[in-house]
Amino acid sequence: MSKKIKILLCSDDDGLMVKTIKSVISNKGYEENIVLVRDQHDADTIAKEIVDADVVYPDKAMITREMIMSAEKVRLFQYGTGYDTIDLEAAGERKIPVCNMPGITAQSVAEHARDLILALARNDRDYGEEMKGGKWNRGVGIELAGKTLGLIGYGNIGKIHARIAHGFGMKILAFRGNRERGNEGLDFVDIVDFDYLLENSDIVSVLLPLIKHGSCKTERFIGKKELIKIGGAGLGWLINTSRGAIINENDLIESLKNNIIKKAALDVYETEPLPENSELRKLPNLFLTPHIAGDTKEALVRRYTLIAENAIKVMNNKKPQYIVKELESVFD
């Protein structure tokens, strides 16, 4: 007789997620009950389904203390990269592991950051669509060779981003919290202090995790003062593929309106989905994508496979991979 497992997925899955998870789970002899909640703001449905779930993938859905305390069977909260939408203290009290997936989307995010830079370098235009529409509007772009890229954050994504940019002939500066770790063998990367990076980069790319509390807080890490420094250096371009709340959005809007930041490209926002009436949608010097940096087929398969593998581990009373650092001591 097969064992049963209920997995609650907060996702607008197009089929690949459920297909991948089902395949892994069934191959391990489990009968899966996968519940898909497509609207991640539907707190009532999530609260109802979480009560008897074994594993929860919240993605960007808020998981409150009340939900955690009512989740009688939950053995795992599995996230992708960011896990800023769950009450970690409550999860720790219940001794429910919260895991993420460091590095699992790093290649995809780094490649998307590259694409955003290229979009700005070629004037943010879809020349293909213009040509199909009968137009012949030529523009003058810029070369990336010789320009300086500043990486705020130098983890898995940052190192791949640096290698890609180096291939374009760019100079690379990087800021990291633990400067003693150096450039980790990438001799073409200079590890510098924060202000030096802001004041000496043509393009600044934000790659930090969102941390809302404590000495390593990154929420609103970049505001008016930092934007003025970025805008006063070189090209004055800003890229964000990390989390929207790391940049003060109102300050960014004003900086773009006043041409302090000359150009920016964002994949992430303080509020997602981005409201239809957001001022960000109206700025001519801003290029936008809808939080898709980590969404390549390869990265998604790796992500969904890990969800299933960690689910099997906790169902067999084994420690899952990548418990978040805030809760590591609870499960040592």
**Active site annotation includes 243:** yes
Indicate the Cα dihedral angle 214, 220, 221, 227, nearest 10°: -170
Radius of gyration, CA atoms only, the chain: 21
CA atoms within 13 A on the CB side of 184: 14
Residue of 112, 114, 243, 303 marked catalytic: 243
The verdict on whether 272 is a catalytic residue reads: yes
Helix, strand, or coil (residue 148): strand
- Residue whose C-alpha is closest to residue 173's, from 156, 148, 195: 148
Amino acid at 282: K
DSSP assignment of 227-262 = HHHHHTSTT-EEEE-S-GGGB-HHHHHHHHHTTSS-
Q: Which of 216, 262, 257 is nearest to 239 (CA)?
A: 262
Q: How far apart are CA 68 and CA 137, in angstroms?
A: 56
249 is catalytic: no
Which residue reads 């996230």 in tokens? 79
Cα–Cα separations (whole angstroms), residue 221 to 39, 88, 174: 29, 21, 16
The DSSP result for 48-72, as a single string, is: HHHTT-SEEE-TTS-B-HHHHHH-S
Catalytic member of 272, 279, 309, 326: 272
The pair of three-digit structure tokens given for residue 121, joined into one six-digit string: 């370098």
Choosing from 112, 114, 291, 303, which is the catalytic residue?
Answer: 291
Are the beta carbons of 192 and 173 closer than 8 angstroms?
yes
* Amino acid residing at 28: K
Is the preceding omega at residue 275 within 30 degrees of 0, hence cis? no
CA atoms within 13 A on the CB side of 32: 22
Q: Which of 318, 315, 328, 235 is nearest to 73 (CA)?
A: 315
Residue positions annotated with a catalytic role: 243, 272, 291
